[in-house]
Amino acid sequence: MGAFSAFGLALATATGLLVLVWVIQLFNRQAGWVDVFWSASIGVIGLEYALAGDAPTTARFIMAVLALAWSLRLAGYLGKRMKDHGEDSRYAAARERWGKKADLYLLGFFIFQAVAAVVLAIPFLVIAYMDEGPSLITGALAIVVWLISVIGEGTADAQLKAFKAKPENKGKVCRQGLWYYSRHPNYFFESLHWVAYVVLAIGATYWLATLISPIVMAFLLLKVSGVPTVENEDAADKREGHDEYVRTTNAFIPWPPKR
């Protein structure tokens, strides 16, 4: 299968999956499942590209394993959170803001999510059709970057969950573990994850196209739906120590806090 055909298949797969989630939420009013299946769709796209591509087997195998493992971990984490706490408050707020047109606007948002998944998966496409497989050094380095990012994000998620589970921490800002060095270490490691595929694709004809994923992800998390949303909610809740935490601690890259 050619690269353009594979791209079309990936777009159709992601769109079909998320439209199905939209239909289901019409009945259960749990739009937050889109986050779970969005994560899963990226892993599926990686597998599709690996099966359709003509790159050396090593390149396609490493890419598919890394993409699927990341996808399943994140989808599992989000799925459990969704099951335990219900949909994110931003979806309820969106329904209230959009009124009678909420379902139509949500459909557009879900389709946009499908397009975003395909755009973020561009490195998978580049790797699946690269002329030569990665060298031992680039392959090993890509795996190391991937491991650091996934372990880092998983650790940050676990630390925040453990902090919130303690009643005495209610209304407080988490400054434990990785959260002492960054206000959003989970977002940093999520962006770092996409760098692994940039490394894996070194030497590919369209290698520069792989840079779109870490750049877009970092922009979305820093400027659109990540940091601004969370910190606005924390400020509105007047969490204890919030202002000092913002003044002294990096928003993104883990680093010792300012005095």
* pLDDT higher than 90, residue 80: no
3-state secondary structure of 247: helix
Residue 125's CB is within 10 A of a number of other CB atoms, namely 26
Beta bridge partners of 172: 240
Q: Rounded distance, CA 19 to CA 106, Å? A: 10
Please report where in the chains the tokens 């939420």 appear, as a residue: 25
Cβ-Cβ contacts under 8 Å for 31 (sequence gap 6 or more): 22, 25, 87, 91, 94, 95, 106
Q: Model-level pTM?
A: 0.87
Give me the pLDDT at residue 13, please. Answer: 94
Token couple for 184: 């959003």
Q: Say how far apart CA 18 and CA 37 lie, in whole Å.
A: 7
- Both tokens of residue 14? 């992601």
Averaged pLDDT, 87-91: 74
Would you state the pLDDT for residue 234?
A: 58
Tokens encoding 4: 């353009």
CA within 13 Å, CB half, 2? 3
Give me the mean pLDDT over the 156-185 stretch: 89
User: In which band, very low, low, confident or very high, does the pLDDT at 233 lie, cut at 50, 70 and 90?
Assistant: low
Question: How many whole angstroms separate alpha carbon 81 and alpha carbon 88?
Answer: 9
pLDDT for the residue 189: 95
Q: Which tens digits make up the pLDDT trace of 105-135?
A: 889 989 999 999 999 999 999 999 998 888 9
Choose the weakest-confidence range: 26-30, 84-88, 160-164.
84-88
| DSSP label of 250 | -
Highest mean predicted confidence (pLDDT) among 26-40, 138-152, 227-241: 138-152
Q: Specify the pLDDT at position 63.
A: 95
